[in-house]
Structure 1
Amino acid sequence: MGVAYLFQVGDKIFYPMHGAGVIKAFEDREIQGKVQKYCILEIPLNNMDIMIPMKKLESSGVRKLLDKATMKEIMDEFRQSESNEILPWKERYKTNMEKIKSGDMQDTADVVRDLMNQSKEKVLNSSEKQMLNHAKDFLVSELTLGAGLSESQANELLQISS
């Protein structure tokens, strides 16, 4: 049944729109009279546990955390590249939201970099400020859990030099 059986209790994972976490358990639960197997995720960023039905685990976008070498490559590119997209606000917001929802660390890093660069040019509107903060939180959560960095070290990596 797909990637669901590639996961084990204790695996470090990333859940799009929630951040990095750990698989806490696999349990059978009865909900609305039906017994289903669930994957229980512990997400430290929001201090919550999430139950996902095993049959929806793959489609939920849950993935194992990237290895340290891949994270380093992404963060090196993050610090060295510049955004080249100049889109109208609505299109930019939609594109950025799709990137964040994908759960892909590279896409999320691109959103953070682009919005941080844009904020140097002009003040971000409240929706984009909120998006930037959430995307940063997701990156920090993956860097702290996956690369073993402290929160302050992860935040330092996200500073773009002017």
Structure 2
Amino acid sequence: MITINQGDRIYHPGYGIGIVKSIRKKSFSGENKATFFKLYFKRNGLTWLVRANDMPNNIRSVMSAGEAKKIIQHLTSWQGKLSEQWKVRATANQAAIDKGDPFGYAEVVKGLSVMQEQLPLSATDRKHLNHSIDFLCDELADALGKTHDRARQIIENARFSQPTVIHSPLQ
């Protein structure tokens, strides 16, 4: 759980980058006053009034420029492999997306990009790839002060690049 103040920018995996518009105590239906956060998510034009006790645990602070650079490096260098069993892969990719961790998004993007070079992706794999790219694009554009088009280009370059191997002169 993060500490949230009015004016903070936050990230939710389903809604993208939002802003805390207000924090107020309110009473509904005779219930004692509870703290509510009014959140606004520009991508969907969504205003969400959520009780502090019901704040989803996948809401987090937006990434910094330094964190964004680490994500790009992770996307470039990750060499893991996704399951060849479609159901296991789909479940794992959906869990990574639902968690809202940008490192997880990067791994979904890289793994499915590598897989896509070898065979056509299923509809579910394409959906997971596109969602992960979109989520990374939102955050990288915000963190790096770039346009969405430029952030998408950075992702495209990183997902198809091969990790650099540095050999010592003795090898």
**What's the % identity of the aligned pairs?**
23
Q: TM-score, normalised by structure 1?
A: 0.85
Of the two, which has the highest radius of gyration?
2
User: Which of 14, 39, 42 is the aligned partner of 2:40?
Assistant: 42
- 8 Å CA contact 1:45, 1:141 repeated in 2: no
CA RMSD of superposed structures (Å):
2.0
Pair 1:109-2:99 in alignment: no
Number of the residue aligned with 2:164: none
**Hey, what's the Cα distance between the residues in 1 that align with 2:111 and 2:62?**
23
Distance 1:10 1:125, change over 3 A: same
TM-score by length of 2: 0.81
Q: Which structure: greater helix fraction?
A: 1
Q: Secondary structure at the match of 1:45?
A: coil
* Cα distance change on mapping 1:12 and 1:88 into 2, 3 Å: same
1:15–1:62 CA contact under 8 A, matched in 2: yes
**CA-CA distance at 1:135 after TM superposition:** 1.6
- CA–CA distance in structure 2, aligned partners of residues 102 and 9 of structure 1: 24
Q: Which residue of 1 aligns with 2:139?
A: 142
Is residue 71 of structure 1 aligned with residue 74 of structure 2?
A: no
List gaps (5 residues or longer) in structure 1: none
Deviations 1:23-55 (A, max 9, x none): 222234555554532212222222322222111
Q: 1:45 to 1:118 in 2, by over 3 A?
A: farther
For residues 114 and 21 of structure 2, what CA distance do their matches in structure 1 show? 37
User: Which residue among 40, 48, 51 is the counterpart of 2:49?
Assistant: 51
SS at match of 2:130: helix
**For 1:8-47, what aligned pairs fall within 5 Å after superposition?**
8-34=5-31, 35-47=33-45
- RCO comparison, higher one (Cα < 8 Å, 6+): 1
Aligned to 1:61: 58
- Distance between the aligned counterparts of 1:10 and 1:144, measured in 2? 19
1:118 aligns with 2:115: yes
Match of 1:130 in 2: 127
The equivalent of 1:161 in structure 2 is 160
In the alignment, the residues of structure 1 paired with residue 64 and residue 114 of structure 2 have an alpha-carbon distance, to the nearest angstrom, of 27
Q: CA deviation at 1:131?
A: 1.8
Aligned length: 158
